[in-house]
Chain A
Amino acid sequence: AQRVTQPEKLLSVFKGAPVELKCNYSYSGSPELFWYVQYSRQRLQLLLRHISRESIKGFTADLNKGETSFHLKKPFAQEEDSAMYYCALSGPGSGYSTLTFGKGTMLLVSP
């Protein structure tokens, strides 16, 4: 069965500190991995996907197939990064259509 695990419910850091939001997954095959973000009073939106290898808003995430991880990192957190972050995967079993989400991590960046 496919599963996404985000071990931290809440991550609290000060502005300018490095951030790492952890994500581990379980899937037999080659999934696509994503990070979604939900800012306060806004809808869920895609932040980045592993296949595009982009840096979005200073965030990066590297897929580590050996450790089955897809941690989200940013070297210097900003207050506007405060939001709920969800790791998700999509697999060939569903034609890469449906998403399986983790429970989410709330990132709180204090001034």
Chain B
Amino acid sequence: GAGVSQTPSNKVTEKGKYVELRCDPISGHTALYWYRQSLGQGPEFLIYFQGTGAADDSGLPNDRFFAVRPEGSVSTLKIQRTERGDSAVYLCASSAAGLAGYNEQFFGPGTRLTVL
């Protein structure tokens, strides 16, 4: 079946602009995660959805970043007033709900954001 997909694959924008990054999780997966990977670093957690609600948004760096998942499937990560430091690969992952404990996260290919 289809894996996690993310669009666009690349996004170049200018400092101060607004961007939206989209994630389509694996069908039926109730949990969805956003991570950010800067150059030379591992992925860094941003926000986690269980269904439509954000279960944990402690990783969002500031109030320029927010994410939605209105119907419990597709999610959009929104960044306002972009800064050069926001340049990174933004990864999305999804997992099935299951027994308590860790459920394997399946990652998308990422969106490479470049802020000029």
Q: Which residues of A approach B to under 8 Å, CB–CB?
A: 4, 6, 9, 32, 43-46, 49, 51, 86, 88, 90, 94-104
Contact = CB atoms under 8 A, between A and B. Distances in A.
B102 to A, nearest CB: 4
A43 B6 CA distance: 11
B91 interface: yes
B41 interface: yes
B85 interface: no
Contact of A103 (B41, B105, B108, B110): B41
Nearest to B91: A44
Interface of B is mostly: loop
Interface in B70-116: 91, 100-102, 104-110
A6 B55 CA distance: 29
Interface residues of B, number: 26
Contact of A98 (B40, B42, B56, B100): B56
24 contacts: A6-B42, A43-B3, A43-B107, A43-B108, A43-B109, A43-B110, A44-B43, A45-B106, A49-B102, A86-B42, A90-B102, A96-B101, A97-B33, A97-B55, A98-B45, A98-B56, A99-B43, A99-B105, A101-B42, A101-B43, A101-B44, A102-B42, A103-B40, A104-B41
A23 to B, nearest CB: 11
B47 to A, nearest CB: 9
A86 B108 CA distance: 16
Q: Which 7 A-B pairs have the closest CB atoms?
A: A101-B42, A96-B102, A44-B107, A98-B45, A96-B101, A101-B43, A43-B107
A9 B39 CA distance: 13
A52 to B, nearest CB: 10
Contact of B45 (A32, A95, A100): A100
A49 B102 CA distance: 10
B89 to A, nearest CB: 10
Interface centre among B43, B44, B102 (most CB of A within 10 A): B102
Interface in B30-69: 31, 33, 35, 40-45, 48, 55-56, 59
